[in-house]
């Protein structure tokens, strides 16, 4: 529930509310790749680019799919705003 609500907040542009739910989800589901990815997207959206890129790099180290937005869309069923933010992070990592 926290992850879905966080993604809804993200889509609404309520990034700090999204981050609050994601921090709760992190405590409930440690090492969950979806939660970590959503945290990275949200950090990037609030301007914490370095932190977002660090989280994303860790995700790519664990699962190469995080380098591929097509994989992200299929794996997590993300909508375009989430995919667009993932593209931004990948661009910032280059």
pLDDT values of the chain reduced to their tens digit, one per residue, 94 residues: 899 999 999 999 999 999 999 999 999 999 999 999 999 999 999 999 999 999 999 999 999 999 999 999 999 999 999 999 999 999 999 9
> Are residues 22 and 6 in contact, defined by beta-carbon separation less than 8 angstroms?
yes
Residues near 92 by beta carbon (within 8 Å), at least 6 away in sequence: 44, 49, 52, 53
What's the pLDDT at 23? 97
Place of tokens 């990815």: 37
Place of tokens 């950090």: 43
- Enter the pTM of the model: 0.94
What's the pLDDT at 1? 83
């Amino acid at each position: 529930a926290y992850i879905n609500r966080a993604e809804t907040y993200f889509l609404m542009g309520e990034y700090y509310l999204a981050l609050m739910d994601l921090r709760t989800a992190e405590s409930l589901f440690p090492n969950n790749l979806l939660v970590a990815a959503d945290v990275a997207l949200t950090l990037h959206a609030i301007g914490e680019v370095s932190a977002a890129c660090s989280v994303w790099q860790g995700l790519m180290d664990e699962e190469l799919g995080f380098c591929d937005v097509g994989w992200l869309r299929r794996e997590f069923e993300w909508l375009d705003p989430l995919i667009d933010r993932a593209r931004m992070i990948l661009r910032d990592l280059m």
